[in-house]
Amino acid sequence: MCGIVGYVGKKKASDFLIEGLSKLEYRGYDSAGIAVINNGKVEIRKHKGRLSNLVEELSNNSAEGTIGIGHTRWATHGEPSDVNSHPHQTSKGDITVVHNGIIENYSELTQWLKSEGYEFKSATDTEVIPNLIHYYYNGNLFEAVVKATEKLEGSYALGVVSGQEPDKIVAVRKDSPLIVGIGQGETFIASDIPAVLNYTRDIYLLEDNEFVVLTNEGVEVFEANGDKINKEIYKVTWNEDAAEKGGYDSFMLKEIHEQPKAIKDTMAGRVALNEKVNLGDFKLTSEELENMDRIYIVACGTAYNAGLMGKVAIEDLARIPVEVAIASEFRYRNPIVTNKTLIVTLSQSGETADTLAVLRDAKKIGAKTLAITNVVGSSISREADSVIYTMAGPEIAVASTKAYTTQAVVMNLLGMYLADLKGLLKSEEEAEIKNALLELPSKVEEVLNQKAQIAKIAKLISQEKDLFYLGRDVDYALAIEGALKIKEIAYIHSEAYAGGELKHGTIALIEPGTKIIALKDKMISNIREVKSRGAEIIGIAYENQEVDLSVFDEIIRIPQISTRIAPILGAVVLQLLAYYVATRIAPILGAVVLQLLAYYVATERGCDIDKPRNLAKSVTVE
């Protein structure tokens, strides 16, 4: 959601703070601010709007000093404004705080602190924190922060400074991400690794309720009781250039084009033609699988849509019942979860608050948990029993692309692994599916080569107010993701429908000129229904697939993934595997088409593609 940075060293703190915040812009924000300690006084600069507003302010009114904290805010409590922007400061002194998360009991604490003479200027939940720390302050900032957090309910990552102790930053995390960077004669805090990569690759990954004190002497990590913690350094191996645009107009376009490599990297070491699927530390025995009562795939947004594809893959191959659940709904249900249940949590960032809450609840019940995430060392990856990493590399654009396709690939690998464990997948059959998966990177390249045609079609729909996406089976799951993409970045109302549901009410919305994106497989009768009512159809079909061109206004072809199964398997097996390849793996290519379509529509509309309004990359609050 929002981003936090902090610096302690000998250089000008504001230089790093601005640079670090710029690396976190992808997380989504509506205001930015910094606080720097200068000669024992905390100086604050903050502004509503883009980071450039803050940079302009600093050019006219610089903030000197070598210790400071910074923040990009995404409004949850109180509208975007200068006064609601972070950092926030106590009304009775200079204790200053930046905060990522939500304080659930801020109203009660605010009323109590007002009775103690504290004044509040903003409409935020955060302002209660510096006042609460001041209430407990007795000459030791670390102890005051510890005591204050004991009163806080909710989620938080905090960076705290005070002119009374001008040589340090105190930080803590609970249910919101925070890392510590260890440089040469300087130390950092940040919400995410890209903020510090220009300065260090040595990182502490903080756990919940771990407190940090940063000074010129270095970093110390403590438990709440004051006991020191010896943290292991995590070495960042990916290149900082991976978080830059690399010549593309936007991060999203760059990440769309990175999908062949991301898919290949995700399969590396896991898929080999003459070996079983290797899922790393995720291992089940045949007995554990036999006793498993069900699988829940739990996720939010795009990850949820990848889970819908995973459900079909696992049920097709392994014949295990799978339910896909929205994390924010699942946690407030009374789901049937036992110690025989497998909970699979999907999250690009590994910090998604609702998904993380489901994971923790499941572990309390004794369910087995598996995380599928893109971020090494994230909360979800650390707390799950097992983790499968997608190797997508840094994904900066808010709208997820390569994380989605790599999650879909992992879902197929998981289905194969479980099917093999149950003895349902013969080696020849497994080899055929592997062949199809291994073809994906080159086939995605073929889709990317069609971007000029897709951009031309995007112009035809860029001024529409409503769009409909139609599909069946896995293509319906794909339609949901396509509709989400165009909502996210082009701000067009769009809905996805299962083809057979049209006649159950939705067809009443179809009128002459209505634009429909139709994923063709098993859809021709539904397409004719809407075409006869004046709809204009953009079809997505496989190459060499027979198409009645009279019902399509435009058509985009997806490369066919070949089947090379040995004839000795027989015609029936051939048909079944050809069906699986065509309907379970090939739709991943359709996802790339829909990503490009959304991208070019948003471009035509002049939208801020990497930073869509009101959205955040990592949703770390409920």
Indicate the Cα dihedral angle 194, 197, 200, 203, nearest 10°. Answer: 20
Q: In what order do the strands lie in the sheet with 169-174?
A: 88-89, 96-103, 154-161, 169-174, 210-215, 218-222, 228-229
| Cα–Cα distance, 54 to 60 (Å, whole number) | 10
Instruction: State the first-to-last Cα distance of the chain, in angstroms, to the nearest integer.
Output: 11
Contact residues for 328 (Cβ-Cβ < 8 A; gap 6+): 300, 354, 622
pLDDT grade for 410, boundaries at 50, 70 and 90: very high
Give, as one character, the DSSP assignment of residue 56. Answer: H
For 547-579, how does the pLDDT look when each residue is reduced to its tens digit (9 = 90+)?
777 788 888 888 877 544 333 334 443 444 455
**Peptide bond just before 87 cis, omega within 30 deg:** yes
| pLDDT of res. 42 | 93
Radius of gyration of the chain from its Cα atoms, rounded to whole angstroms? 26
pLDDT grade for 429, boundaries at 50, 70 and 90: confident
pLDDT grade for 527, boundaries at 50, 70 and 90: confident
Secondary structure element (H or E) that encloses residue 435, with its range: helix 427-448
Q: Is residue 384 scored above 80 in pLDDT?
A: yes
**Higher per-residue pLDDT: 434 or 585:** 434
pLDDT grade for 138, boundaries at 50, 70 and 90: very high
Length of the chain: 622
Contact between 387 and 366 under an 8 Å Cβ cutoff? The reply is no
Nearest partner of 398 among 26, 17, 23, 1, judged by Cα: 26
Q: Is residue 428 scored above 70 in pLDDT?
A: yes
Nearest partner of 23 among 177, 205, 352, 244, judged by Cα: 244
State the catalytic residue, choosing from 2, 368, 443, 611: 2
Enumerate the H helices of 345-401 as residue ranges: 353-365, 379-383
Q: Is 607 a catalytic residue?
A: no
| Cα–Cα distance, 593 to 454 (Å, whole number) | 8
Q: Are strands 179-182 and 187-190 parallel, antiparallel or unpaired?
A: antiparallel
Q: State mean pLDDT over 256-283.
A: 87
Q: State mean pLDDT over 290-314.
A: 93
Q: Is 422 a catalytic residue?
A: no
Q: Percent of the chain having pLDDT more than 90?
A: 50
SS (H, E, C) 239-308: CHHHHCCCCCCCHHHHHHHCHHHHHHHHHCCCCCCCCCCCCCCCCCCHHHHHHCCEEEEEECHHHHHHHH
Give, as one character, the DSSP assignment of residue 569. Answer: G
Mean per-residue pLDDT over the chain, rounded:
87
Q: Is residue 149 scored above 90 in pLDDT?
A: yes
Neighbours of 97 (CB within 10 A): 29
> CA-CA distances (angstroms) from residue 97 to 61, 421, 540?
21, 52, 51
pLDDT grade for 343, boundaries at 50, 70 and 90: very high
Contact between 212 and 172 under an 8 Å Cβ cutoff? The reply is yes
Report pTM.
0.72
State the catalytic residue, choosing from 231, 368, 515, 617: 617
**Angle formed by the axes of helices 106-115 and 128-136, nearest 10°:** 50
Biggest CA-to-CA distance, the chain: 84
Q: Is residue 618 scored above 60 in pLDDT?
A: no
Q: Is residue 20 scored above 80 in pLDDT?
A: yes
